Amino acid sequence: MRSNIFKPCATILAAVLSLALVSCGQGGQDKESSGQPGQSKTLNMSLNFPSGYSYNRDTHELVTGSSPVNALSLAPYITQVALSISGPNIETIVLSVPLDTLTVTVYLPDGEYTFYVVVFTNLGLTFTDSQTGVVGAGLALDLNFNLEVNAPPVIDGISVGTSVTPKRTPVSITVNASDPDGDALSYSFSGGGSVSGSAPNFSWSADHSGNYTITVTVDDGHGAASIASFGITVTNQAPVINSVSADNTEPTTAETVGLSCSASDPDGDSITYTWSDGAGWSASGSSVSYSPTTAGSVTVTCTASDGDGGTDTGSVTLNVTNANNSPAISFVDVFELDALDDWLSHNGVIVNNLGCFDNTFQFECFASDPDGDGITYTWSVSVIYWLNGANSDSTTLSGHYNPFPQGAVLNSNAIVWDVWNNWLGVLDGAFLTQLSVTCTATDGKGGSASKTVTFTGGGC
């Protein structure tokens, strides 16, 4: 078994294993920044391999006797030599050493340092050693390393709880590994997702669906590692719409409808909501407002999305009717049937005032309805009259009748009213001085319109 040796900057040397040279800190320090006396030093390295191994610097081949170290058809080779330098006056430095010269130059302040070397091969084996050395006077320092074989860890088996799992559902992973040299092993995972736990039992999960290739790397801390891979498929469970509702399922084209959509997601994903009526309208949010523009049956659809490809839809049907349009009155005409026997107003234009002896009138209202609804007419009449002669107005009175005056005869959109015989005749000496007529047209659906026409004069 290889003896335990100093292992500084283990994570960096693991990175060197992938042929990526990284420094733990500043490479070499200049004299000013270090604050210590020193100079550039040439480090001459000698690599003494264990018995049975030898190194050909010209070919970088590692052999034992006349045969390769292992049974590979290609001769084994040294692929990299990494040197780690640590000491009290510098941050740790990691250097890649030229394979043909095994010599490097680095600035080091005077002092004592620990030098740690890892020799990488294409066998999976590494060779390691460390020693201390004092940097002081002189431009060179000879480092003589007596290497020991470092065998890579062995992954004996990997057990995965399941190869298919929903998002955010942990999968148990057991990694059984050993090291021929008895080194303490570290475990790392790559390929996505997150891992918790400690060797040999781990738990893996992922937040997003997909096919994952998980690679586990077992490292012995001496530059040797073994890897193994396995696959896990993570599935996405679509959201489920629980309800879609409208606060009014029988609106008119003049009304606004409140829509609500509620959904849940088995994976706990955040849900977004989008809406469509299939005719160009769209909106987003769990609660929205919708204003229908066309009468008929309208299906409004809510889509719930989890952001990972999962969706569900639900809908609500609205029975939309056209909004009611109120009737419109064009004009109110009044015809005097007794003394004047002529129009007071005709086609909406006042053509005469009241006469002294105007008593009987025909009121006629002209209205229409945009929706073709039937129209009902009601009337309101206000009059002002004088008593006891035209020269006295101290007894001016008024009267108001609704839906139409006493004694009036209703005929569709017109009425005939004998003012004298049905009212003024009971008042001795009364004369009509003002007449106001109001027509109101209603469509029976809440729509209405009114128009008033007023005449003055008379009194005599």
| pLDDT tens for each residue of 67-109 | 433 333 345 678 889 999 999 878 899 999 998 888 999 988 8
Secondary element (H or E) of residue 316: strand 311-320
pLDDT for residue 252 is more than 80: yes
- Taking only the tens place, the pLDDT of each residue in 331-374 is 888 888 776 678 888 888 888 887 766 677 888 889 999 989 99
CATH 2.60.40 fits 328-456, yes or no: yes
Which SS3 state, helix, strand or coil, does residue 128 take? strand
- Highest averaged pLDDT of the listed ranges 218-222, 283-287, 423-427: 283-287
Q: Work out the number of other CB atoms within 10 angstroms of the CB of residue 249.
A: 12
Q: Which of 62, 67, 105 is nearest to 85 (CA)?
A: 105
Quote the pLDDT of residue 428. 56
| Averaged pLDDT of the chain | 80
Provide the pLDDT confidence category of residue 121 given band limits of 50, 70 and 90. confident
Q: Per the structure block, which two tokens stand in for 282?
A: 């769209």
Provide the pLDDT confidence category of residue 456 given band limits of 50, 70 and 90. confident
pLDDT for residue 393 is more than 50: no
Q: Per the structure block, which two tokens stand in for 140?
A: 């060179």
Q: Which residues have CB under 8 Å from 90's CB, separation 6+?
A: 25, 26, 28, 29, 34, 108, 109, 113
Quote the pLDDT of residue 351. 86
pLDDT for residue 11 is more than 70: no
pLDDT for residue 217 is more than 50: yes
pLDDT for residue 195 is more than 80: yes
Q: How far apart are CA 179 and CA 274, in angstroms?
A: 57
Provide the pLDDT confidence category of residue 178 given band limits of 50, 70 and 90. very high
Quote the pLDDT of residue 26. 33
pTM, entire model: 0.56
The β-bridge relationship of strands 225-235 and 164-166 is: parallel
Quote the pLDDT of residue 27. 38
Quote the pLDDT of residue 455. 85
List the CATH code of the domain at 240-320.
Answer: 2.60.40.10
Provide the pLDDT confidence category of residue 189 given band limits of 50, 70 and 90. very high
Cβ–Cβ under 8 Å, residues 16 and 83: no
Q: Terminus-to-terminus CA distance in the chain, angstroms? A: 140
For residue 31, give the DSSP letter. Answer: H
Provide the pLDDT confidence category of residue 449 given band limits of 50, 70 and 90. very high
Cβ–Cβ under 8 Å, residues 106 and 91: no
pLDDT for residue 299 is more than 50: yes
Q: Among 155-169, 283-297, 393-407, 412-426, whose mean pLDDT is lowest?
A: 393-407
At the fourth CATH level, the homologous superfamily of domain 10-150 is Immunoglobulins (2.60.40.10)
Provide the pLDDT confidence category of residue 31 given band limits of 50, 70 and 90. very low
Listed in order, the ranges of the chain carrying CATH 2.60.40.10 are 10-150, 240-320
Quote the pLDDT of residue 345. 86
**DSSP E strands, 167-256:** 171-178, 186-190, 194-198, 201-205, 210-219, 225-235, 240-246
- Taking only the tens place, the pLDDT of each residue in 125-167 is 788 899 998 888 778 899 999 988 888 899 999 999 999 999 9
pLDDT for residue 452 is more than 60: yes
Cβ–Cβ under 8 Å, residues 389 and 350: no
Q: Work out the number of other CB atoms within 10 angstroms of the CB of residue 113.
A: 22
Q: Per the structure block, which two tokens stand in for 331?
A: 């004009």
SS3 content of the chain, % helix, strand, coil (to 5): 5, 55, 40
CATH topology of domain 154-235: Immunoglobulin-like (2.60.40)
Instruction: State mean pLDDT over 419-443.
Output: 71
Percentage of the chain surpassing pLDDT 70? 75
Provide the pLDDT confidence category of residue 65 given band limits of 50, 70 and 90. very low
Instruction: State mean pLDDT over 260-277.
Output: 96
Quote the pLDDT of residue 4. 38
- What residues form DSSP beta bridges with 87? 90
Top pLDDT among 78 and 426 is at 78
Quote the pLDDT of residue 23. 31
Provide the pLDDT confidence category of residue 419 given band limits of 50, 70 and 90. low
Quote the pLDDT of residue 34. 40
- Taking only the tens place, the pLDDT of each residue in 219-244 is 998 888 899 999 999 999 999 999 99
pLDDT for residue 310 is more than 80: yes
